[in-house]
Amino acid sequence: MQWFCLVFESRYVLGRKHSKGQTLMDMVCEHLNLLEKDYFGLTYADADTQKVSLWPNISLSFSPSPSTDPPWHLVFAVKFYPPDPSQLTEDITRYYLCLQLRDDMLSGRLPCSFVTHALLGSYTVQAELGDYDLDDHGSDYASDFRFAPNQTRELEERVMELHRNYKY
């Protein structure tokens, strides 16, 4: 019996080679306490082409290319972003969507303008650090975070400028 390992956030879920996709997705979502599953899916990289694809029909068994030997690497990822995130009912759903959004921005898969990077970066800093406090944060705290693939000092300064105006 061959097994594969699904890895996400340094956690592992083991499954059998011919497990149904829905079974694996349910295992992952249960492990994450995720109820709003429709936004997420499993991706894999084909060893022959190195192309990353969304598992198209999770009602079927996982079937990597015949030349691919184990271990097979599947990744939990966002299938699509909701048109109105305020309609989400679960905080954990928003959390995993935000993680994917940040990863997509940092990798360049989601191109953003300077203004968008600054705004989303300021939200990230607010979420991580809370309200601005000069004694706690100093004058260069934004450089501890990554917001963009080619982050500049100018972007960090704009993020800090925006962050200073937020209050919980």
Output the domain CATH number for residue 72.
3.10.20.90
Q: Which two tokens stand for residue 87?
A: 């309609």
Let me know whether 17 and 75 are in one domain: yes
Q: Is the pLDDT of residue 82 over 80?
A: yes
pLDDT of residue 117: 92
CB atoms within 10 A of CB 115: 9
pLDDT of residue 70: 58
d(CA 128, CA 143): 13
pTM, 2 dp: 0.69
Averaged confidence pLDDT in the chain: 78
Percent of the chain with pLDDT over 90: 15
Q: Considering the domain boundaries, does residue 4 fall inside one? A: no
Q: Considering the domain boundaries, does residue 102 fall inside one? A: no
pLDDT of residue 77: 84
DSSP one-letter code for 127: H
Q: Is the pLDDT of residue 159 over 90?
A: yes
For the range 17-20, what are the long-range contacts, defined as Cβ-Cβ under 8 Å and sequence gap of 24 or more? Answer: 17/61, 17/62, 17/70, 17/72, 18/61, 18/62, 18/63, 19/61, 19/62, 20/58, 20/59, 20/60, 20/61
At 92-147, the pLDDT tens digits run: 898 888 888 888 888 888 899 999 999 988 888 888 888 888 778 878 899 989 88
Q: Is the pLDDT of residue 6 over 60?
A: no
Output the domain CATH number for residue 158.
1.20.80.10
Q: Considering the domain boundaries, does residue 99 fall inside one? A: no
Domain that holds residue 126: 114-164
Average pLDDT value for residue range 80-101: 87
Q: If pLDDT is split at 50, 70 and 90, which confidence band does 83 have?
A: confident
114: Cβ contacts below 8 Å, ≥ 6 apart = 155, 158
Q: Considering the domain boundaries, does residue 86 fall inside one? A: no
Q: Considering the domain boundaries, does residue 33 fall inside one? A: yes
